[in-house]
Amino acid sequence: MSIQNAINFFEAYTDDEKLRTYLGMLKSPQKVRSFLEEMDMGFYDEELEEAYNLLLLRCNDEADHNVLTQVKVSYIELITEGLNY
């Protein structure tokens, strides 16, 4: 697992509506994590935080920052038991 995988996740989640939809349909945090590992985007929560902080430095404006923050929040919701519907 790596910070680069987490960066790749941020980029893919931002750009790929099908990925967002599919992840939202998974019924457990373990399924989300397993799927991401299968897609070579496995990472630890700490790596997500590090990737988030690195990507913040690249933000050009508040809109970029907001998108980045929303991706992070969405991931947290996906891996938090009981929030997946």
Whole-model pTM: value is: 0.89
Give me the pLDDT at residue 84, please.
47
Within a domain: 43: yes
**Structural domain containing residue 70:** 3-79
Within a domain: 47: yes
pLDDT digits (tens, 9 = 90+) for 37-72: 999 999 999 999 999 999 999 999 999 999 999 999
Give me the pLDDT at residue 82, please.
58
Within a domain: 24: yes
Give me the pLDDT at residue 39, please.
95
Within a domain: 84: no
Within a domain: 52: yes
Domain count, the chain: 1
Within a domain: 85: no
Which long-range CB contacts under 8 A does 50-54 form with residues at least 24 apart? Answer: 50/3, 50/6, 51/3, 51/4, 51/6, 51/7, 51/9, 51/10, 52/6, 52/10, 54/3, 54/7
Give me the pLDDT at residue 27, please.
86
1 vs 58: which has the higher pLDDT? 58
Within a domain: 62: yes
Within a domain: 33: yes
